[in-house]
Each structure stands twice: as C-alpha cells, then as structure tokens.
Amino acid sequence: MLGRAVESYLSVRRACGFDLKCPGGLLRSFAAFSEAKGKEHVCSQIAIEWAGLSRSVHQRARRLNHVIRFARYVRTEDPHHEVPPAVFGSGQQVRPTPYIFAPDDIARLVEAAAQSSHPFRRRTYRTLFALLSCTGLRVSEAIRLRLEDITPDGMLIRHAKFRKSRLVPLHKSARDQLERYLEYRLPYAPFDNHVFVSLRGTPLAVDEVEKMFRSAVNRIGLPLRKPRPTVHSLRHTFAVRSLEASPDGRERIAKHMLALSTYLGHTKVSYTYWYLQATPELMEGIAARCESLVTGGRS
C-alpha cells in the first residue's frame, strides 16, 4: 500500500516537471523499509529510524525531509499517515560563494581552450566556452543544442531544468562566431545534428567538457583556492555582470531581475537573488541603496 502511494506521489510531481531520480529511489527504499516493519502508513518513528541509517546529519535530514514532503501529500487523503518532525534539521546546505571571472580571465580561458593539439577540438571548445560566457547557458543546455535549435530569433533551449523551454537571444557578434564554427563543424560530423560534437563525431559529454575546462584553467594559472573556478562559473559570471549592469530605480531593478531570472531559466526569482551577494561591488551597491532609502536620499 505504501509503495503504491509513493508511485502515485512521484507520478504527480513528475507531471509537474520534477525529475526526482534520487528522491524517488529514497522514497521507494523508505516504503520497502516500512512495509518490512509491517507498516502500511507513514509512521514517524519508522521514518526517523530509516533516515537515521545514513552516516551524516545532513544526509539524515535530507532523507527525512523527502518523507515529510511525501507524508504531507498522502495525509490529505488519509489521516492515518503521520508527518514526522524534522528532528535532523532542514537538510538545506548553504550555497557556496561562486567563482567570478575577471573579464581578462575569460578571454585568456577561451584562448587557452584553443591550444588543444587537434584543430577541431580547438575550434569546438573555444566556441563552446565563449558561448557559455556570453549567454549564461548551463553546460548541459549547451551540449544538448541541436542544429535546428539555432533560429533567427536566438537559441531554443528545449526541456531544460523542470522540462521548461526558453528562447535565448544571441548578439550579432556571438551569432557570427557560432555560424563560422558551424560552417567548419558540419563537414566534420555530417550525420549528427548536435551543435557541439567530439572528435568521434558524437555529442560532447559533460565530463569531457569539465576535463578540457580544468586543463585550460591550469594553463592560464588561475588560483585553485576556494571558491574554485568550474565550468559553471561562466554562467555565474554572466549573471553577476548582468546584475552589475542593472539600471537605477526600484521598478527598473525589479524588471531587470525578473528578465534575468527568465533568461537564465530559473524557476524562482529567489535563485537569481542569490547572485546579489557574489561580489563586493554588488554588496556595496545594495548597501548604498539601503542607506539612501533609510536617510531619504540625504548624504
């Protein structure tokens, strides 16, 4: 009975766009554990016992929070289900401070990617890293791009996070560089319609991109202290520079933030707010505006 309830819950949430690969496996494990204990409904004691099998407190909290969310769902139809207390905490980790590239470092990184031994790899990764830096795409979105996704209006990002699609405009300079790359790439792998392909003529894999990125970072001698640069740092940098370019005025800032959140494919604008703490310049700007608000504009 509990196993069927888990499958029903997962089906509903997946229909809303959630992937739930890891939570699905955990909830199935919880259902099997509960049924082995003779329980047909969510039992707080059993849930806490099951979550406590994990080694770390964070893992226990995360496991129990999945059960809590599931229990709230099934309890709406059957009050025999108990909603366990969050005895291990919230399970939410503080997002680490992102690494933000200096403008010169992005240019150096793109050039370093062009130092591969094979000319096709040079063109591919130089174009890929430049595209990531000027559009803020996720790496997974870029390597899934297909030829038909490059439209006159921009790049069509299909079924990104939470199965959402969006259109990302391209500046003329970026479009020109991408078109030149495609002219070079099409004869090389004519039977695959992905924009970026490997030497084997197959779509790039994330681990291949990360390996090339680390090689380029080492080549230009970027510091490896925390926060460390990752390929996702190109997206972080794009977001932060966009926020730094925000116009003045409360209403204009709000519109700019909402537009950037939509552009980046964030499901919540709060995910975009996180970038406000990324650089001293942004924090200084926030402090100055708060001071102006408190003092009524008086210096």
What is the set of active-site residues? Answer: 138, 161, 232, 235, 266, 275
d(CA 197, CA 219): 23
The beta-carbon contacts of 177-181 under 8 Å, at least 24 apart in sequence, are 177/127, 177/130, 178/127, 178/131, 178/150, 181/123, 181/124, 181/127
d(CA 226, CA 186): 40
Contacting residues for 15 by C-beta, under 8 A, at least 6 apart: none
Helix (H) or strand (E) holding 21: helix 21-36
Query: Phi and psi at residue 168, in whole multiples of 5°?
Result: -105, 115
d(CA 267, CA 164): 9
Report the chain's C-alpha Rg in angstroms. 24
DSSP per-residue codes, 27-62: HHHHHHHHHHTT-SS--HHHHHHHHTTSSSHHHHHH
Q: Which residue has the tokens 């990617």?
A: 113
Which tokens in the block code for residue 133? Answer: 């830096």
DSSP reduced 3-state for 94: coil
DSSP reduced 3-state for 156: strand
